[in-house]
Amino acid sequence: MYKLIRKALIIFSGLMIAGLLLIYGLYSGYIRFNYPSLSEYPVQGIDVSHHQNEINWQQVDRERVRFVFIKATEGGDFKDKSFAVNWQRAGEQGFVVGAYHFFTFCRSGQDQALNFIETVPKVANTLPPVIDLEYGGNCQLTIEKQQVLAEIAVLIERLETFYQKKPILYVTQEFFDDFLVGQFEQSPLWIRNIYRRPVLKDQRPWLFWQYANRGRLEGIETVVDLNTFHGTKEEFETLIKN
């Protein structure tokens, strides 16, 4: 009996240690759920903000990172303090750059468009502007769904008119299911799913996939979001130039 109890305790302890190591690996970014291959997804990149602190862009691997989405603005007046530096230095090192805006429920689409346009230069050979649509970190939702969609529509229209590129919509699975099924179907999607390859309710195609939120790269001291483009190198070049 004693031997059986001892054996059970050893097995239990081993499972506990393995579980803790797995949790640590996932939290620290050394283990993740998705590993999209370069053969299937030849164009991969990251997205950054001031949360990544000062980035040494010279050390970031250009074989692994082709593009960088950089946080520019949020709501009607917030401007990311690291945007200008990241935009300039990443571009100087040859990364294809793009800027994103975090949409908030508590400011009008017009105000948010003006904030972004004041911050992000209109430059050739850059990615289209991105509108980040999610619940996390947002204002309390106090308006109806149709009003939310109306403000998003204004923001899309203003950015497309100014930059002459159709904005990309970054969405979490939850936000897409609640707001975007059957909406803005001409807008390219950048979908977040850190657990598996995205499959949307209406089988809508996606253009970018954020497949990890705790990646590790030389030159960046914190964890960083990892992304991939859904297409060929040639299609990516066309996206930049259009």
> Residue 223 sits in a domain of what CATH number?
3.20.20.80
**Rounded mean pLDDT, 10-36:** 60
Q: Provide the pLDDT for residue 2.
A: 63
pLDDT at 182 over 90: yes
The active-site residue, picked from 47, 80, 132, 151, is 47
The active-site residue, picked from 61, 77, 134, 221, is 134
pLDDT at 50 over 80: yes
pLDDT at 62 over 80: yes
Helices (H), 50-144: 83-92, 109-119
pLDDT at 230 over 90: yes
Residue 14's pLDDT band (cuts 50, 70, 90): low
Residue 237's pLDDT band (cuts 50, 70, 90): very high
Q: Tell which residue, 68, 39, 19, 38, has the closest CA to residue 226.
A: 68
Residue 22's pLDDT band (cuts 50, 70, 90): very low
3-state class of 22 per DSSP? Answer: helix
User: Could you tell me if 138 and 237 lie in one domain?
Assistant: yes
User: Could you tell me if 130 and 161 lie in one domain?
Assistant: yes
Q: Any catalytic annotation for residue 134?
A: yes
Domains: count for the chain? 2
Give the residue numbers spanning the domain of 97: 37-241
* Residue given tokens 């050394």 in the structure block: 30
User: Could you tell me if 78 and 179 lie in one domain?
Assistant: yes
What is the spatial distance between Cα 124 and Cα 76, in angstroms, rounded to a whole number? 25
User: Could you tell me if 3 and 110 lie in one domain?
Assistant: no
Q: Any catalytic annotation for residue 47?
A: yes
Residue 8's pLDDT band (cuts 50, 70, 90): low
